[in-house]
Structure 1
């Protein structure tokens, strides 16, 4: 009888062990953070600007632009249908200043490196005053997550802009970073990326970045934390190509839709993954050319940002009350999506956004 009880107890222990492993797997969470460089909240929530979209100084294909972005009754949905038809209905979409929303950077520069540092570390660094700042001395939430049990080696980043090699500092952080025109050996488009004309020497087209990120999701490495930094919207805006900026925004929205579809089709990600989308800064307002640029002082309101989120723990339609949300809250929000506390590492970082159930 004693032997029988021992066998039963051993079998029960094995069964319990399997149950605990299964339960842990069921609770395992993932997060995908996406940034659309310099994508203004005005276009996100209002759609294409009618006057700008009809100005031949900024647009070369007036007829196509009118058909795609001005004729539809809802210009915002015409520009970014996934954000409005899926994310806004099933998750949250923050920063619509026309309807009481508010989000902004807290750094005093209002351009990219300071913006990315802020949203990835949870606070501004007044020492960062240039996009050529060099390797980031600050620990980002990605670096910290890469040190956590179950996440080490499963944090990856794909960025169109080469400066992310400095911003994410892979030599110290250990985060796998593919940025700019970095080679993509073993991928189907490695030769294509190497041979296409380089419109911007320091930044590849977002289509390449997107395919790399998709291949990572579908591959064996299966990152649990994935950061994707698109850049076409900002580059075309700086060139004064409003038509191309709008088409880049629509492509970015399609990229987001494909990412979400891919995540929902994969058993390791479906029902376990939070998608967070935001930007590093806004665009200037006031003069005819102000939208092309950003930066504190000369380009008013280019500190204004926005954020979208969807996932199993995101409270549908929740709008954090109180003061204006800030980009500095993104880092802690990313950690919270994984049930981790970023401020336990850095108490000076901003608190997470109140968007979860």
Structure 2
């Protein structure tokens, strides 16, 4: 065999050996989750002791005190997955008590504008109501679903029925499972979920209980194996609007458990393990002024501080425990951050969108913002 043929054969063998690894490197996955209206104060401070003792907002203060207040670490008692897993192995941004900052950049400070900003990377000043209707904006999910390598591999599961409009399901053809609507059941688990959901009393007309959203999300991962999954939980906001602080805390703890279950499912599945980034954030904060009822509401200008949010991320490309940036992390940066986690050029989506958060490893080393 000539030297030239030997070199060609050696190169072919090396390429064949590297091929699977290279394919794995390029096969990035993304799960983007939102927890509606969960404040940074609850995430980083835990339960508010004064509010938790107020019978105006709590049915059984003693029970709540034992579970969430008189504990060694209030934040970890409320959101243990965010603190014990994400904050240690990834990043948890927005702790204003320790130099962190995260916020929406829109001037509405409620849900539809917040979700539009998260999913498009831009503020749309035309969106002034949660009843805005069908969005004309292309979300990062719609854009990805239009790319050949992602077509048919993007899914959305949400508790709030307005996501049909936010994600423009009628136009984008993106599969959206939102609200109390029951999608076609394709597996025995989905048959059971649909039956139980149909038999469950409805507390809110447009928001189903997060348990069903979570069940559908897990089954979507198992059955469809999407490369990108968007999940939106809603109870933390709806219970807060009702002034039920005990149920708000319990919902926050339950949702943190859902996040842990999602992450465990991803790590147990070879299709996702080692190549999936999980990003978690919220669409707005809650009022922070001296009014005792401020925590129940949000929106500008009536409820100052409700633009303040938080962002969490964990995955193979995330630099663990990245220090807070001097700049405030914006909700408009989430879309580009997700695209960078997928190994894509975010500017190809929208060069005017917010740039990715500086939380990624670079050149084999941990990058600092």
Same fold (TM over 0.5): yes
TM-superposed deviation, 1:323:
1.7
Which stretches of structure 1, 4 residues or more, deviate above 3 A after TM superposition?
Answer: 8-19
Name the CA distance, whole Å, in 2 between partners of 1:12 and 1:315.
33
Preserved CA contact (<8 Å) 2:160 2:178: yes
Give distance in 2, aligned partners of 1:341 and 1:319. Answer: 24
Match of 1:62 in 2: 61
Structure 1 residue 178: Cα displacement: 0.3
In structure 1, the residue matched to 2:239 is 236
Aligned partner of 2:131 in structure 1 is 132
Distance 1:240 1:23 in 2: 52
For residue 115 of structure 1, what is the aligned residue in structure 2?
114
| TM-score normalised to structure 2 length | 0.92
Cα distance in 1 between the residues matched to 2:170 and 2:314: 32
How far residue 46 of structure 1 moved from its aligned partner, in angstroms, is 0.1
Residue 287 of structure 2: SS of its match in structure 1? Answer: coil
User: Is residue 263 of structure 2 the alignment partner of residue 260 of structure 1?
Assistant: yes
Distance 2:297 2:36 in 1: 12
Match of 1:141 in 2: 140
Q: Does 1:191 pair with 2:190?
A: no
2:72 maps to which residue? 73
State the secondary structure of the residue aligned to 2:33. Answer: strand
Separation in 1, partners of 2:321, 2:10: 46
The DSSP-based 3-state class of the residue aligned with 1:31 is: strand
Give the whole-Å Cα distance in 1 for the aligned partners of 2:275 and 2:350.
26
TM-score, length-scaled by structure 1: 0.95
Q: Please give the alpha-carbon distance, in whole angstroms, between the structure 2 residues aligned to 1:19 and 1:346.
A: 33
Gaps of 5+ in 2: 362-369
**Are 2:360 and 1:356 equivalent residues in the alignment?**
yes
Which residue, 250, 263, 269 being the options, matches 2:272? 269
**Cα distance between partner residues in 2 of 1:351 and 1:11:** 42
Aligned residues: 353
Report if aligned partners of 1:181, 1:204 keep a CA contact under 8 Å in 2: yes
Say what the alpha-carbon RMSD is for the aligned residues: 1.9
* Distance across 1 between alignment mates of 2:344 and 2:26: 13
1:251 maps onto 2:254 in alignment: yes
Task: Structure 1 unaligned segments of length 5 or more: list them.
Answer: none
Q: Deviations over 1:300-326 (max 9, x none)?
A: 100000001111110000025232111
Compute the displacement of 1:182 (Å): 1.6
